[in-house]
Amino acid sequence: MKPAQFDYVAPASVPEAVAVLAERGAESRVLAGGQSLLIELRYRTARPALVVDVNRIPGLSEVTVEDGSVHVGALVRHAQLERARFDDPLAELFRQVAPYVAHPPIRARGTFAGSLAWAHPASEWCALAIAMGAGIEVEGPAGRRTVPADSWFRGPFTTACLPEELVTGVRLPRPPAGATAAFAELRRTHGSFALAAALIMLRLAGGRVDWVRIGLANAADVPLRAVDAERLVAGELPEPELLAETASRAAAEADPPDEPHAPAAYRRHALATLVRRCLTRAVQQAGTP
């Protein structure tokens, strides 16, 4: 099926894009990587009257490392994060997660910020954003604002972004020095969406877990940060029994729907297994006393 007819505009600046969205936001869609939007257009699940192509806007394609945060511009492609080489534990997490995002051609065009704007419950990047406490930066007629990730995701494919607003970047707090990362995912085929996925970042100090983040994908209708599980392991010696209990606690926080290839009970079991594997790997990388 071909897309329904639509108008097309390619603004050259953020203010120009915001002006267009302010005028026609309710009937428009933004095109960055387009790897999700083009599917919707093709199957006519989306029929915008206007497509706003932001690829010509300068200054949105950089990853910037600052004192306390890493800033990812709205046009940073998945492949850029797959090759991340900046000096921060977050770069290792990017490198582990990125290969699980679809196929290489899609990673070459799709964007990190676009994944957060699309808000698919199985998105690896959405789970990373919620776990790391990201702030999503948007600009609209009323000015700029930053929306915390835990307020950004309102439901499947639904966010706090207003129709007249443009996502301009994502800011992620830098993990503490010495933090280690682990990611694991279960899916039916290489290019399938995740049936379940887990990511861990933690740091050991004096042999104990003194900082930890646990993110889950496709564990509910929005990405989840397993806060109760984090509390269980924080400050403790990472013994295998505790890691297994922490993984079970994380799975208990999930509320996955039933799917034809993955009933809810199966996905909770998978989440517990994935979290345990990631915790074990992250602890091994950090070193034990």
207 touches 283 (CB < 8 A):
no
pTM: 0.96
List of the chain residues with pLDDT < 50: 288-289
Q: Tell me the two tokens of residue 219.
A: 């564990």
Predicted local confidence at residue 289, as pLDDT: 44
User: How far is the CA of 284 from the CAs of 96, 204, 240, in angstroms?
Assistant: 16, 10, 11
CA dihedral (40, 43, 47, 48) positive or negative: positive
pLDDT digits (tens, 9 = 90+) for 96-132: 999 999 999 999 999 999 999 999 999 999 999 999 9
Q: Tell me the two tokens of residue 146.
A: 């930053």
Q: What is the dihedral of CA 133, 152, 127, 214, to 10 degrees?
A: 40
pLDDT digits (tens, 9 = 90+) for 3-48: 999 999 999 999 999 999 999 989 999 999 999 999 899 999 999 9
